[in-house]
Structures are given as C-alpha cells and as structure tokens.
Chain A
Amino acid sequence: MRTLVIIPAYNEGGNIKKVIENLAASSQEVDYIVVNDCSTDNTDAILKSINACYLKLPVNLGIGGAMQTGYKYAYMNNYDIAIQMDGDGQHDARYISDLIVPIVQNQADLVVGSRFITKEGFQSSAMRRVGIKFLSKIVKWRCGVNIKDITSGFRAVNKKYIKQWAEYYPVDYPEPESMASAVLSGCRVMEVPVVMQKRESGKSSISSLKSVYYMVKVSLAILLCRKGES
C-alpha cells in the first residue's frame, strides 16, 4: 500500500532536517511531504538545501490548513495511507509500521499513536494531561468512543479518510475535532502505544495563555461537530 507521511512545519528550522533524517533512517517504505506553513525562519532554505519533498504555502494557514494541504496532496497522488507526523521531532518514525499495520489488516480506519497506553516517554505536563482527559471524556460522551490520546498528532488514516480530510479539515487545533467528526461518520479508531520525545527546539503552538482559549474552542468544536462526509 502506498503510504505518505505528512509533516507540517512552521518555523521548524531547528528540527526539520533531523525529522527527515529520522524518517529515512527508519527504513520505512514510505514517501513523505513536508508542508512548510509559510515559515519565517530558515525552514524553507533547509528544505531546499537537502532537496526535500515539500509544499510551500504562500500564507500561514495554521496547523489545520497545513495538514489539509498534505491530505490534498495525498488524495491527488492517490496514496492509500496517510500518516501525520509533527515537524518538531516529537514523533519517532520507528512507530510508523505500528500505525500502518491495523489499516493494512483492515482492523481500523484511523490509528492513533498514543502516549498513554504504556505511559512511557514524554507525557506532557500535568495540566495538559488534565485537559486531554477532559477532551477525551467529551469525545466519549459525544461519539461513544474512548480515545485516550485525543490530541495526538501522530496518526494514520486510510484512503476513505484521506478523501474526507482533503475536503474538510478543522482550521485550528484540529486533532480532537477531526477525530470526533470521523468517528461520527463511522470511522473505526484504534490506539497503538508509541513513545514520544519532548520537542528539541522551537515553540509549541499552544502556549499557556492560549490554553484556556484552546479548551473552550476545542470543547465547543467537538460538541458542535458534524459527521464527516465521505
């Protein structure tokens, strides 16, 4: 099955080369595309210098817009599986095969790399974990599915959801909402254990000041989300 790894990158000049090298070193038979979300640092120059496969957005669309561009690329190039992987080095490419297997064996449509199954590696701060648990409860209440690591940006989807997410993908803080919308449309979700690393450089898109806004926005988005059309 043709597999594409989508790596959204905004000002990831300090990480992106390592992420691509890590992917190449993992000797997975996958293609990749970096979506440079109009970075203002040297991300573009680095991507050019290493002759990486990348898309260059002319304006900053945020994580949702960048991810959707990746899904559009996957859909356009007829990929069977798309894997979302952060450009900040938090996700280890070794786990890609774990994400793919349930889709190949038709056991799941969406596979989430979860930090909270074996509870190894970077677990995020206590406050964030409370937030993640809260969002997870809302998703369970709204969609009837228990997804522990609801905000995980390390996940794989099959062709059906590549198409769905190429057509519509939430703009900001998209993971929980896109997951809820997929589940409402009958998506089979599975979580597999992964170990995540702490980001090495750069800033997380969710600062402490934004976290209140994040919680309100994402909770509302989950409560109001419609089932994805496919």
Chain B
Amino acid sequence: MNLRVRIAVAIGILFYYLLIFILIKKRKISLKSSLIWFFWGIIFILFDAFPILIIELSRILGISVPLNSLLIVFIFGILINLIFIMGNSSRQEEKIKDLSQELALLEWEYRALDQKTNNENLSE
C-alpha cells in the first residue's frame, strides 16, 4: 500500500471515530451498540499502521493487490456489523410485540373494569 492510500485511510478512520464520538455525545447511539464499530476501527488502524499485515493477508489469500484485501476485510466487517444490527432489530421487534400485546390485554382489563363500575353505578 502506498503512502497516499495509507493517509487517505487514516483520514477516513479519523472521520469515522469523530462521527461515532459525536453521535455518542449527542446520545444518538449508545456506547454499547457502538462498541462493535470501535472494534472494526481498531482493525483498520492496525492494517493502516502496519501494512505488512495486509500484505501478508493478501499473500495467504492469493490476492495480488493488497488494497483489494483491505476492501474485502472492510466488506466483511460491514457484513458482520449488519448481522449484529439485524439481531438487535429482531430483539427490539420482539419487545415491541410483547409490549403491544400487554397493552392490548391491559386495555381489555381496563374496559372490563370500567364497564363493571358503570353497571354498579347504574344499579345503585
């Protein structure tokens, strides 16, 4: 990897972390859910700081241009993160479903109680 690419990747990582910090600070994302993005940022810092790692990876995978290996790692990282996000979204979906069902059952109880009270008032 030539120096220009490394500088570009370094700037990219800088913006990446800056964005994460701003979002955490503004409480748009939680620290917990951003941890996986932190992790992938560190992987890229390592690849950028020690290009030998990506060169070695390219040799193992049989990829002639190291930059392509970096892109593959990048895409793989996004896929892993997406799976985590999907898991999170499924859990939230389940929670919303449970809450909605509880709400419907509570509303039914409230209605039944209300009707009972009305009937009692009428009989008095």
Contact assessment for B100 and A61 in the assembled complex, using a CB-CB cutoff below 8 Å: yes
Which parts of B84-103 form the interface with A (CB within 8 Å)?
A: 96-97, 100-101, 103
CB of A221 closer than 8 Å to a CB of B = no
Contact assessment for B104 and A58 in the assembled complex, using a CB-CB cutoff below 8 Å: yes
Contact assessment for B97 and A61 in the assembled complex, using a CB-CB cutoff below 8 Å: yes
Which parts of A12-70 form the interface with B (CB within 8 Å)?
A: 35, 54-59, 61, 65, 68-69
Q: Digit string of B22-45 for contact with A (CB within 8 Å is 1, else 0)? A: 000000000000000000000000
Contact assessment for B101 and A69 in the assembled complex, using a CB-CB cutoff below 8 Å: yes
19 more CB-based (< 8 A) A-B contacts, given A65-B101, A68-B97? A35-B104, A55-B105, A55-B107, A55-B108, A56-B104, A56-B107, A56-B108, A57-B100, A57-B101, A57-B103, A58-B103, A58-B104, A61-B97, A61-B101, A65-B100, A68-B101, A69-B101, A72-B101, A73-B108
Compute how far the CA of A171 lies from the CA of B94 in the bound complex, rounded to whole angstroms: 9
CB of A117 closer than 8 Å to a CB of B = no
Compute how far the CA of A47 lies from the CA of B107 in the bound complex, rounded to whole angstroms: 15
Contact assessment for A72 and B105 in the assembled complex, using a CB-CB cutoff below 8 Å: yes
The 7 closest A-B pairs by CB, nearest first: A55-B104, A69-B101, A57-B104, A55-B108, A59-B100, A65-B97, A58-B103
Residues of B within 8 A of A57 (CB): 100-101, 103-104
Which parts of A55-106 form the interface with B (CB within 8 Å)?
A: 55-59, 61, 65, 68-69, 72-73, 76
Identify the closest chain B residue to A53 (Cβ).
Answer: B108
B59 to A: closest C-beta gap in Å: 39
Residues of A within 8 A of B105 (CB): 55, 69, 72-73, 76
Residues of B within 8 A of A68 (CB): 97, 101
Residues of B within 8 A of A59 (CB): 96, 100
Compute how far the CA of A166 lies from the CA of B97 in the bound complex, rounded to whole angstroms: 12
Identify the closest chain B residue to A51 (Cβ).
Answer: B115
21 pairs from A and B in contact (CB 8 Å cutoff): A54-B108, A55-B104, A55-B105, A55-B108, A56-B107, A56-B108, A57-B103, A57-B104, A58-B103, A59-B96, A59-B100, A61-B97, A61-B101, A65-B100, A65-B101, A68-B101, A69-B105, A72-B105, A73-B105, A76-B105, A171-B97
B28 to A: closest C-beta gap in Å: 24
Compute how far the CA of A68 lies from the CA of B111 in the bound complex, rounded to whole angstroms: 20
Residues of B within 8 A of A55 (CB): 104-105, 107-108
B116 to A: closest C-beta gap in Å: 14
Residues of A within 8 A of B107 (CB): 55-56
Compute how far the CA of A137 lies from the CA of B101 in the bound complex, rounded to whole angstroms: 33
Compute how far the CA of A55 lies from the CA of B97 in the bound complex, rounded to whole angstroms: 14
Identify the closest chain A residue to B90 (Cβ).
Answer: A171
A75 to B: closest C-beta gap in Å: 10
Which parts of B66-124 form the interface with A (CB within 8 Å)?
A: 96-97, 100-101, 103-105, 107-108
